[in-house]
Amino acid sequence: MGQAHSEEVRSKEDITAELAEKFARKCFEPLELYCFKDNFKSLADNQQHIRYLKEDVIAKFLELPDVLNVSPVVFQMLSYIGAFPFLEDAPAVLGFEQMIVCVAILTDRYTKILAKGAATRRKLLFKSLAVYDRKMSEIEKRPASPTVEEGDEATKEAGSSGTTTAAAGRSHAAGFAVDEAGDDEDDGGVEDADDDELVLAALNSLDLNDAFKAGDLHAASTHGAMIPADNFRRLLMLLLLVAPLGPQETLSTYAERVRAGDALDGLRDTADSILSSLINVERAPGITFAQFRRILPANLPFLFEGFNALFEHFLFSRNLDFTKKRQQSTGGGSSSSVGSPPSSPPAIRRVRTSSSSLPPLLPDNKGHILNPNLVSQLSFFIPGNELFRRLRLLYSGADAGFSMGSFETKSSSSYHHAQGAEGIFTDSLPPRRFPDGSPAGRSEDRVIFGVLVKQPWRAAHRECFGDADTLLFQLSPVHDVFRASSVNQNYVSFAKAPAAFPGATASRHPTLRTLGPVSLVIDSSFEFGVFTHDYTSRGGAFATSAARRHDFQDRFQVDNIEVWGCGGDDEARGQRERWEWEQREAEARRRINLGTGDREADRALLEMAGLVGNNRSGGSMS
């Protein structure tokens, strides 16, 4: 009774301080906590005995580029998360305890205490970026069927383009993430019941009773909430910039990516491609939680990973000399009060890394398609440790020539050559029945498609290759990811005629080929291609889009094709040695003059030569 009564009268300030102390003790190393105290002491303003951080101070410390104008967005996010677990009190003054909570949550360190999944943190981030305006959010939910006036205009537009009204309405939003209006789930419902999972877990960790939780939690619902499109565009540009950021690596290292001109335009274009998968900016002013919840797990599961390294800057003090080792005990750092001034640092157990000594994100002066912005975009759905500073160009059509022979010479250990023409390729495709996939007004922009294949590339005349980790994706003008199916495993086929990429198979018809429901097909001359998204069929070897829930097809002329290997020097060396061994084996088999007509004798001869047996097939004996 006495314990329950004492819990009920504890103030919010006491609970926030207790939670911050628990985060500091459990989520940070003693040295990190010391550095955090030192940074906060040097950065904080003092007003009426309250020490807090201001927006401009945080922006300068994190080196947020002024040209992005993203500091107000970041400060809004921090002010909301800083109120945790009492989110109804947001925005919060960013004092010491509030910043401890922000850093623990934004670096994913809170999971050491609160065993909650990414979905709960994702919802907290949505609400920290959202504004509440029910009238604005209703714009997105206009009736799908046009009014009489709208129908007349649609008919006129359709008549001028030679299409039917139905086709015009169908293609109006092609390429955007937003479904036909009214299809989205309600923002609330069952989801609101789980709205405070992370908050409740935090209070449970402090052994607070249910009466307190039920009486004092009134966190804002997602009803009427949306992230303004311009705010999210600025945040996306920052996330693209910080995606490759390493521990203690300063953001100024990537200053050339935000220089005014082509560099900044390229960063903005990449952000717009991602934004197009979340919202139709011509129809709605912001991103609703229904869209955020549905699209991010499928297309952008690692979108906020860059925050880890960015906000870990608070855990490294620039005032410390990391070239010297201190002999003080580490025990004092964890047992002292979390809000006390920093004392002598514990023993140094980390080594400062120099960003200038790191290799570039991509090899210099190589590649015509892939650039640092697109690599960052890839890291939003492929783990960054498989991409950054591990990519090497294996094949570029612009440099090596657009032929299957050149492609295979650089990408696999087999050699073939074939040529084709646009007429042959076009004649081999079924009649067009889907609209373009590019957004309205951007149909002339280039499209960028890609495939992630973790198995060795090989000619596939009779069977497909690839595995469950194979990804088919689009980077521009709309960001989209199509994940491998567990039922249909015909992921990748590669043959001289026809040349088919994931999800497509050759037709029995002598002139027409069968396009997979979700497939990318390139002709054997690497001149022309077609991407098909048959949403009605619900997918084949690859799942349909979570963002664009309609049928579309992109037919295009190939401007360039590149193949990039993911791996370090050891992987590249091992692959090269394997290819060289395979070529030696093939050459040795060609030099052996069999022709005896006795299969057993021929096999014995190959075994004596060491070319078959011991798990070596030696190739076909027929």
Q: Which pLDDT tens digit goes with each residue over 178-190?
A: 444 344 444 444 4
One-letter amino acid of 236: L
* Residue 156 pLDDT: 40
> Using CA atoms, how far apart are residues 535 and 293, in angstroms rounded to an integer?
20
Asked if 218 and 129 touch (Cβ cutoff 8 Å), the reply is: no
Query: By percentage, how much of the chain surpasses pLDDT 90?
Result: 35
Specify the pLDDT at position 56: 96
**Structure token digits, residue 280:** 């139709």
Mean pLDDT value across residues 443-462: 78
Confidence label for 373 from pLDDT (cuts 50, 70 and 90): very high
d(Cα 495, Cα 523) in Å, to the nearest integer? 10
- pLDDT tens across 273-314, in order? 999 999 887 777 899 999 999 999 999 999 999 999 999 999
- Which residue bears the tokens 């809004």? 76
Q: What's the confidence (pLDDT) of residue 425?
A: 57
| More confident of the two residues 248 and 547 | 547
Higher-pLDDT residue of 617 and 136 is 136
**pLDDT of residue 144 exceeding 50:** no
Contact residues for 444 (Cβ-Cβ < 8 A; gap 6+): none
Higher pLDDT among residues 346 and 96, named by residue: 96
**Mean per-residue pLDDT, 125-131:** 94
Q: Which amino acid is at 444?
A: E
R_g of the chain, CA atoms, integer Å: 29
Q: Give CA 231 to chain center in angstroms.
A: 19
Confidence at residue 414, expressed as pLDDT on a 0 to 100 scale: 43
Mean pLDDT of 436-458: 74
| Token couple for 183 | 């299809």
Write phi, then psi, for 472 (nearest 5 degrees). -110, 130
Examine the pLDDT at 399 and tell me if it is beyond 70: yes
Query: For residue 526, what pLDDT band results from cuts at 50, 70 and 90?
Result: confident
Work out the mean pLDDT of the chain and round it to a whole number: 75
pLDDT in tens, 223-275: 789 999 999 999 999 999 999 998 778 888 888 889 888 899 999 999 999 99
In whole angstroms, give the CA distance from residue 20 to residue 84.
10
Residue 150 pLDDT: 40
User: pTM here?
Assistant: 0.76
When pLDDT is cut at 50, 70 and 90, the band that residue 380 belongs to is very high
Tokens matching residue 63 = 């080196």
For residues 153 and 171, give the distance between their C-alpha atoms in angstroms, rounded to a whole number.
15
User: Who wins on pLDDT, 416 or 570?
Assistant: 570
Element housing 395 (H / E): strand 391-396
Q: What percent of the chain has pLDDT over 70?
A: 59
Q: Which residue has the higher pLDDT, 170 or 217?
A: 217
Which of the pair, 578 or 380, is modelled with greater confidence? 380
pLDDT at 123 over 50: yes
Residues linked to residue 132 through DSSP beta bridges, in sequence order: 225
d(CA 252, CA 240): 14
